[in-house]
Every structure is written in C-alpha cells, then in structure tokens.
Amino acid sequence: MENAKRLESRIASCRRCPFVDKPFLLHRVYSWLPSRVRVLAIGESPPPGRKEGSLYNLESFDRLRLSLSLLLGVRMEEVLETLRSSSIFFTAAVKCRPPDRRSLEGMRRNCVPLLKGELELLRPERVVAMGRFASASVGEILGLRPPEDLRGVVKERKGGMEVFFTPHPNYLFRFGRDLIGEVGKILRT
C-alpha cells in the first residue's frame, strides 16, 4: 500500500510534458498491485487522444484488455484479477495519456525516471517489456540494448532479474498469434 501511494504521488506531481489526462490516477491503477510483484509487464502508454479507454478503466472497452484476455486465456472482465492473483502488474512506459501518437517518444523519455522508480520500488523477478517504447525505456534503465526487431521474443538477464522483450499485446492479437502461447507463458510462469 505504501508503494502505491509513493507511485501515485510521483505521477501526480509530474509536469514534464503536455497530456490529456492521467489514467494511472483516474482509475487508481496501483490499487491493482499484487502484494508481491513477481512479473512487471510494461506496455506503451494509455491510448493517445481524447479517449475513455485504458486497461484499468473497467467502465469502457479497451483493446489492450482484449489482447491480454487472449494472452492469458481468460474473459476480458477477468484480466485484472487474473494479473493480480498471478503476481503480475501491468504498467506503461508512458504514464499519462498522450495528446497524439507523435508525442509518445518525448513522453517516453520524460517518463523514464518514473518507470525506474517503479522498478526500484516493486523489485520484480521478471520484467516483460512489451512493444517498442517499453523496450526502449527498459533498455535505457537497465543498460541493455533492446532488439531492433520486435516481431519475436528476446530474453536477457540483468543481475538476478529476467528481462524479456516482446511485441506489444495488440500487435500479437493482430499479427503475431503464433507467439501468443510463448508470451502468455512468459507472463504466467
């Protein structure tokens, strides 16, 4: 609970870039933290623009939640509880909702200290960077070179932590269904 408050406070006080809203605060994302985070899965960002959707907004449809339901083999409405009960926390490289897709890279760079703080506080055994922006941030924080081609899975080790670079779940749902079993296993084992 203390970690959740610290993380929320860091996001609330951040003013590094223009944003639409802060879904991590609006939807109390950190209330879904498992008691111990075994796997920290990192996606890109909340959907850009003036949208309602966000993984943790259970009041509206979210494409990421749909893709994760396929990866985890559960119904959409079971995704968040399945993640928590499996000691998985799904976060994002960009914490605030970007005004548009063009803003993502600048926001990603500005959010690196927030993601680094999240890694330090949560101390997961495994990190799964899902997509180009998540991979760039994780690589920067851990001093690893992310793969140039994210159409497959790459495993690294940093200290005692396993680090996986994978395609984004929405990419898997649309173009990489042959990887769904492997990435689902990485998340759950």
Residue in the structure block whose two tokens are 């689902």: 184
- Domains defined for the chain, CATH in brackets: 2-188 (3.40.470.10)
pTM of model > 0.85: yes
The values of phi and psi at residue 14, to 5°, are -75, 130
- The b-or-e profile of 12-24 (16+ CB within 10 A means b, else e) is eebeebebbebbb
**pLDDT per residue of the chain (189 residues) written in tens, 0 to 9:** 688 899 999 999 999 998 889 999 999 999 999 999 999 999 999 889 888 889 999 999 999 999 999 999 999 999 999 999 999 999 999 999 999 999 999 999 999 999 999 999 999 999 999 999 999 999 999 999 999 999 999 999 998 999 999 999 999 999 999 999 999 999 998
CA 104/CA 109 separation, integer angstroms: 9
Largest Cα separation within the chain, whole Å, is: 41
